[in-house]
Amino acid sequence: MIASAIQEVGWTTPANPEPPAPETVASKAPSATSLDPAQVQQMVQSLATLRETVEQMAAGQDELKRDIVQMHSALIDVLVKIPEPLRQPPAAAERKSVPAPPPSSRAPTASSRSPISPQQ
């Protein structure tokens, strides 16, 4: 049963498989002579520079993390030292009266009103 399923999928090999021709294998394999030593050296230097940059970034992130932890700790210290505002009892808050604003000089008062005559 398994053999028939394998044949249906096409995973079987022919009874006499032929080895690939030598020129086919050679054309697929990378040639060691195609690598330019100058290009290889340039890639090595580029990778070294990249590694150094990544290490610098990681060190910078570590330093930034330490700074954030220190600032957080300092903020907590400051918040702990700030005294809570004194809370007034509710009765004391009600006793405070807000002074009335002074009367405006433009607003008419009861004593300064004059009757308006119809002919004016």
- pLDDT tens-digit profile of 13-59? 555 556 666 666 556 655 556 889 999 999 999 999 999 999 999 99
How does residue 67 score in pLDDT terms, banded at 50, 70 and 90? very high
- State pTM to two decimals: 0.37
Cα end-to-end distance, the chain, whole Å: 120
SS3 58: helix
| CA gap 13, 7 in Å, rounded | 9
What was the pLDDT predicted at 105? 59
Q: Within a 13 Å sphere around the CA of 23, how many CA atoms are in the beta-carbon half? A: 0
Q: Residue 96 corresponds to which tokens in the numbers above? A: 């405070």
DSSP symbol at 35: S
Q: Which residues contact 109 (CB under 8 A, 6 or more apart)?
A: 103
